[in-house]
Structure 1
Amino acid sequence: MRYLELYAIRVSQPLSDFYLASIKARDLLKLTFSEKLEYMDENGKLKGNQRKIDERRLKEIGKYIDSVEMSFPNSIILAANYSEEGELVDDEKYRWDIDSVEENLYKIIIPSDKKLAAVIDGQHRLMGFGEKYLPDQSKLDVELPCAIFFDLPISYQAFLFATINGNQKRVDKSLALEQFGFNVEDEPQHTWTPEKLAVFFTRRLNFKDSPIKGHIKIAPKISSALEKQVFATQKEWSISTATIVEGILNLITSNAKRDRVEMARENIWGNRTRKMVDSFKNDKSPLRQEYLDKNDEYIFKVIFNFLSAAKNTIWKDYDPKSYIFKTVGVQALFDILKRILQHERLTEEYEFETYLETAMKYDFSSSSVQASGIGRRDIRNAILYSTGLVDEKPLKPEDLKKIKDFER
């Protein structure tokens, strides 16, 4: 049973699409979270992602809410599908989702009352509805306008927070640097966690000359039905930032959260170093050693060359309906890159085109492809089969039949 369904309109802006909806204060208090910025020790180590709660301000807001003239026309800004631990939520049982109703009218589906939406801006307005500051709890039925971003990477949450609040009160730079990777270029390179390096590479691929320049968008993971609907009108393909970041992460770490937590034990301006995660000997990610050795340009070159090969082969005949340009297709391509790196000795140059050109015989716009994990598996199997990289795990007869169906 779904916890809540909301009607919303989509707003498209350069940073990302977001959705405008109204949500009752009582529901927002259940569904959202924010963590105040605190010092952990005398050396200035930080945790949290919001400014310190101002008790005096909250009391004033509570009195204002209790008045007959109360009005909050400004939106509370939310980042949906993140846990309180800062992890992107992939479980479909809990993820907030979007369905299309009609032109520019959508339905936001919230499956449960778990706290899976971070408050980017408006925490004091929302907390003012708390029982401590608002004795008259009947006001909890007041609706509040919300701007909801889906799957917005944490580094961009910090960017948005800093931009919105920059003219009101300067955001502590240490907060942005320590917690979110915002302006990661300002940090010592040897302190970059795998997540920060992946975000840095993703920005570089999107804004510098690269095979996917301008094709990376901070967009939500949408439902299968909605993804199929956009095929008919989409003129240019795009992929979410989260998809590229996760693809890069799988090359350099088997557990990004573990690495982040371990490296957070030291300050970035102190003893933090990538060697802090060298002790995880069970991490067999193919470019793990290059990450530990800070050979970032080599890692980027490998990724760049692979994407260039994709552009010259499997992406060459552009078809906007092909799933090879969608989330499942790009995820599958990164799976292929990982498999190649696991099988081949690291060399200065990779002949990736020799792997991908064999898959040009497949048509991944086939109706048999699914916009789900199954679709990712099917595309990956087809490419692996064409390259001969599936010898260690023979495919099942039904998988071979699916591959046959993809042939042009």
Structure 2
Amino acid sequence: MSFLKLKAIKIDQPLASFYITKIKAKDLLEISFSEELQYIDESGKLKGNQRKKDEKRLKSIGRYIDSIEMSFPNSIIIAANYDKNRGQIIDNKDRRWKLTKSNDDFYEIDIPTNEKLASIIDGQHRLNAFDYVTNQERKELDLVCTIFFDLSSSYQAFLFATINGNQKKVDKSLALEQFGFNIDDEPSKSWTPEKFAVYYCRKLNFKESPFKGKIKLAPKFTNDLFDINSDDFIISTATIVDGILMLISSRPKRDRVEMGQHSIFKGRGRYLIKDFRDSSPLRNLYLNNEDEKIYEIIKSFFGSVEINLWNNIQGNSYIIKTVGIQALFEFLKKILQLNTNYSNIDFDDYLNPVSGVNFADNYFQASGVGKSRIKRVLFVANDFMSIDDVKENEQSDIVRLLS
């Protein structure tokens, strides 16, 4: 005897077909699960596809569900036939959810057991908030549910990123990591700028580099993977990915959409975006698949940063905060724009003039203004801009810091 039978309609779209049905909240809670995105080993391998559950938010949504105006017209999206511990369920017919076509686009979904064999792709807080309701009758309410069958973990992550990538409530680092979830399954020539940047962000974090162990995956960061002491600093995935992106693409979303017109294994390649005008300094290296050259340039630059700036940190320095890393990437971009022979750049020549600057000075601050001020100090010290081009009320501070 089956645990549950549902009626559904089939929707065909390019990524995959899916099925829309209604299901009671209590039943969906019993047969589904959500898994937080996290690192699981020292190579940067990921598992899960969700941000961390927010209990305060769950209680707030639970309170809303108890209200007389409660309504959830948007769909909970799940991936069926997926075991949290073993991945996709392929051969076990007694556990697999089954589809039977009735007529036209109408189907019957047979759920044989109440095991949690459906991974939540989107809507975990809406669903799990039913565990926080006062009125238990609310769990009898029907919810709209979209079901994908046999969707791999990488595509579950991709869907989450696609759905939530532009939402302010979803941490940008999480969305970016999701875009790069299945990157090892793809040929590198098919990597969009975002996937390229995520891959090399992870490499900077897990291989020997100035950033090793310092890049934080927003939803869950397993500190015991790294040898971190209290004096080290941590920077977000989004900050590093954005920094790498500015070196290879001025419009990464445009590049992703254009490359997405071809499937991964049937012609997708960087050649598809070669005709777009783009002044990013390392664009040609990216288009020509010279990925390791880009990585070595970034690693070499920040190696020099480590020697000249990070090893001389004074107090609560802004040069190791988000604004400092952002300014340093913009500084690197300017250096690369002025040098066409990247292999002959001595980054020490550009960083020595600012090695004595106290980036903990009150002139700096942790904001967009602070980033601009760090950038101006770097640029003035290297004659990329004149002190006369700086706001008059800031000129004396820059002169003081560089003296």
1:267 has 2:288 as partner: no
1:375 has 2:370 as partner: yes
What TM-score, normalized to structure 2? 0.60
Structure 1 residue corresponding to 2:329, chosen from 334, 355, 358:
334
Match of 2:81 in 1: none
Do the aligned residues in 2 keep the contact of 1:305 with 1:350 (CA within 8 Å)?
no
Deviation (angstroms), 1:288: 0.7
Tell me the secondary structure at the aligned position of residue 254 of structure 1.
coil
Match runs of 1:151-230 below 5 Å: 151-154=172-175, 156-157=177-178, 180-219=179-218
Tell me the secondary structure at the aligned position of residue 121 of structure 1.
strand
Distance verdict in 2 for CA 1:346–1:310, change over 3 Å:
same
Computed over aligned residues only, the root mean square deviation of the Cα atoms, in angstroms, reads: 4.1
Structure 2 residue corresponding to 1:325, chosen from 305, 315, 320:
320
Cα deviations across residues 60-97 of structure 1 (Å, max 9, x unaligned)?
Answer: x34659xxxx9999778699xxxxxxxxxxxxxxxxxx
Cα deviations across residues 84-112 of structure 1 (Å, max 9, x unaligned)?
Answer: xxxxxxxxxxxxxxxxxxxxx9999x9xx
Match runs of 1:90-169 below 5 Å: 121=120, 123=122, 139=138, 150-154=171-175, 156-157=177-178
| C-alpha distance in 2 between matches for 1:252 and 1:392 | 30
Match of 2:299 in 1: 304
Match of 1:276 in 2: 272
Deviation (angstroms), 1:381: 0.3
Tell me the secondary structure at the aligned position of residue 292 of structure 2.
helix
Tell me the secondary structure at the aligned position of residue 363 of structure 2.
coil
Match of 1:254 in 2: 250
Do the aligned residues in 1 keep the contact of 2:189 with 2:270 (CA within 8 Å)?
yes
Match runs of 1:354-373 below 5 Å: 354-373=349-368
Q: Which runs of 5+ in 1 are unaligned?
A: 1-35, 41-45, 80-104, 130-135, 143-147, 158-179, 221-232
Tell me the secondary structure at the aligned position of residue 275 of structure 2.
coil
| C-alpha distance in 2 between matches for 1:78 and 1:303 | 27
Match of 2:234 in 1: 238
Amino acid at match of 1:215: K
What TM-score, normalized to structure 1? 0.59
Deviation (angstroms), 1:235: 2.8
Structure 1 residue corresponding to 2:338, chosen from 325, 343, 350:
343
Distance verdict in 2 for CA 1:391–1:406, change over 3 Å:
closer
| C-alpha distance in 2 between matches for 1:125 and 1:286 | 41
Deviation (angstroms), 1:212: 1.4
Amino acid at match of 1:278: K
Tell me the secondary structure at the aligned position of residue 351 of structure 1.
coil
Amino acid at match of 2:247: L
| C-alpha distance in 2 between matches for 1:352 and 1:37 | 55
Match of 1:162 in 2: none
| C-alpha distance in 2 between matches for 1:37 and 1:359 | 59
Tell me the secondary structure at the aligned position of residue 270 of structure 1.
coil
Amino acid at match of 1:343: L
Larger radius of gyration: 2
| C-alpha distance in 1 between matches for 2:182 and 2:32 | 31
Distance verdict in 2 for CA 1:37–1:396, change over 3 Å:
farther
| C-alpha distance in 2 between matches for 1:185 and 1:350 | 31
| C-alpha distance in 2 between matches for 1:138 and 1:243 | 45
Deviation (angstroms), 1:317: 1.4
Tell me the secondary structure at the aligned position of residue 311 of structure 2.
coil
Match of 2:382 in 1: 387
Identity of aligned residues (%): 35
| C-alpha distance in 1 between matches for 2:208 and 2:264 | 30
Deviation (angstroms), 1:343: 1.2
Match of 2:395 in 1: 400
Do the aligned residues in 2 keep the contact of 1:302 with 1:350 (CA within 8 Å)?
no
Distance verdict in 2 for CA 1:77–1:200, change over 3 Å:
closer
Do the aligned residues in 2 keep the contact of 1:77 with 1:121 (CA within 8 Å)?
no
Cα deviations across residues 164-212 of structure 1 (Å, max 9, x unaligned)?
Answer: xxxxxxxxxxxxxxxx222312211111111111111111111011111
Cα deviations across residues 269-326 of structure 1 (Å, max 9, x unaligned)?
Answer: 0011101111112x10001111111111111111111011101101121346101000
Tell me the secondary structure at the aligned position of residue 368 of structure 1.
coil
Tell me the secondary structure at the aligned position of residue 316 of structure 1.
helix
Deviation (angstroms), 1:39: 3.9
Do the aligned residues in 2 keep the contact of 1:78 with 1:149 (CA within 8 Å)?
no
Match of 2:283 in 1: 288
| C-alpha distance in 2 between matches for 1:265 and 1:406 | 51
| C-alpha distance in 2 between matches for 1:254 and 1:242 | 16
| C-alpha distance in 2 between matches for 1:53 and 1:77 | 25
| C-alpha distance in 1 between matches for 2:181 and 2:32 | 29
Amino acid at match of 2:189: H
Do the aligned residues in 1 keep the contact of 2:380 with 2:387 (CA within 8 Å)?
no
Deviation (angstroms), 1:348: 1.7
Match runs of 1:50-65 below 5 Å: 52-53=18-19, 55=21, 58-59=22-23, 61-62=24-25, 64=27
Do the aligned residues in 1 keep the contact of 2:259 with 2:269 (CA within 8 Å)?
yes
Cα deviations across residues 189-241 of structure 1 (Å, max 9, x unaligned)?
Answer: 11111111111111111101111111111238xxxxxxxxxxxx953211111
